[in-house]
Amino acid sequence: MTQIFAHRGYSALFAENTMNAFIAAEKANADGLELDVQLTKDGEVVVIHDEKVDRTTTGSGFVKNFTFNEIRQFNANKKGVKKEPIPSLVEVLEWMQSNQLVCNIELKNNLLPYEGIEEKVIRLVRKNNLMDRIIISSFNHYSIVLCYRTAPEIETAPLFNERIYMPWIYAKSIRAKGIHPKLASVSDDIIKGAMENGIAVRPYTVNKEADINRLLKINCTALITDDPVKALKMKKQM
């Protein structure tokens, strides 16, 4: 059965990459979460999508230029009523001790280098003993290789936004157990081919009913969606 991963949490209804969005996804019975991480000036791993805080918070400037204490002052729920800080990865991993969710941590290090982010994330995952519930992904495939070399016990999955010929061969060559392609870049045959070759496929970002149906029908490993409630309801009706 296709697993449903909540993209940036239950981001269709809650502010993306906030604890509220993650808690709502868990309450809705999503199988997993997807979230994005970057590093603050003082090396804390924080959960935020853009390199700048401007779009999603009340602050302005690059994540990398704020200390953790400074960045925590911004409101990541700027359209909502209740103020919410940008979560730290520690906060999310500690909360995961109280549930069974799988978490896909996307390292947002394809535009900015964030030296050492792989080691920091792996140390936190190990400290919280969550190695078998974490999938590390990134558009930076060097980083994916580094993660595997540092922590072969943690699953990795390269992200793609373009078509790739026989991606399972590539995935195996970098010791990844899965691939996370942009939905438009994979055909049913590619998805089936990867799965038949032992590679998990979790396309993003799957929000349209027709697309959700398509992936459910071919029993794709998982799909990453902003609206886990809609996808779970459709899965139930299959």
Q: Taking the complex as a whole, how short is the minimal distance between the CB of residue 91 and ligand G3P, in angstroms? A: 20
138 lies in the site for ligand G3P, by CB under 6 A: no
Largest CA distance in the chain: 48
Phi, psi of 42 (to 5 degrees): -95, 20
Residues forming the active site:
7, 49
Report the residue from 6, 22, 45, 49 that binds ligand G3P according to the rule CB under 6 A: 49
36 lies in the site for Ca ion, by CB under 5 A: yes
Report the residue from 4, 7, 63, 136 that binds ligand G3P according to the rule CB under 6 A: 7
134 lies in the site for ligand G3P, by CB under 6 A: no
Q: Which of residues 101-120 bind Ca ion (CB under 5 A)?
A: 106
- Nearer CB in complex with ligand G3P: 36/44: 36
Q: Taking the complex as a whole, how short is the minimal distance between the CB of residue 237 and ligand G3P, in angstroms? A: 25
Report the residue from 53, 107, 224, 232 that binds ligand G3P according to the rule CB under 6 A: 224
- Nearer CB in complex with Ca ion: 111/169: 111
User: CA 156, 157, 162 angle in degrees (round to 5)?
Assistant: 160
34 lies in the site for ligand G3P, by CB under 6 A: yes
User: CA 103, 104, 108 angle in degrees (round to 5)?
Assistant: 135
Q: Taking the complex as a whole, how short is the minimal distance between the CB of residue 128 and ligand G3P, in angstroms? A: 21
Q: In this structure, what token pair is assigned to residue 178?
A: 């899965």
- DSSP class of residue 87 equals P
**Helix intervals (H) in the chain:** 19-27, 68-71, 89-95, 117-127, 141-150, 167-173, 188-196, 209-217, 228-237
26 lies in the site for ligand G3P, by CB under 6 A: no
Phi-psi region of 31 (alpha: psi -120 to 50; beta: other; left: phi over 0): alpha
d(CA 161, CA 125): 27
- Nearer CB in complex with Ca ion: 35/190: 35
Q: Which does 204 bind (CB under 5 to 8 A by kind): Ca ion, ligand G3P, none?
A: ligand G3P
Count other Cβ atoms within 10 Å, centred on residue 37.
27
Q: Which does 168 bind (CB under 5 to 8 A by kind): ligand G3P, Ca ion, none?
A: none
- Give the residues lining the site for Ca ion (CB under 5 A): 36, 106
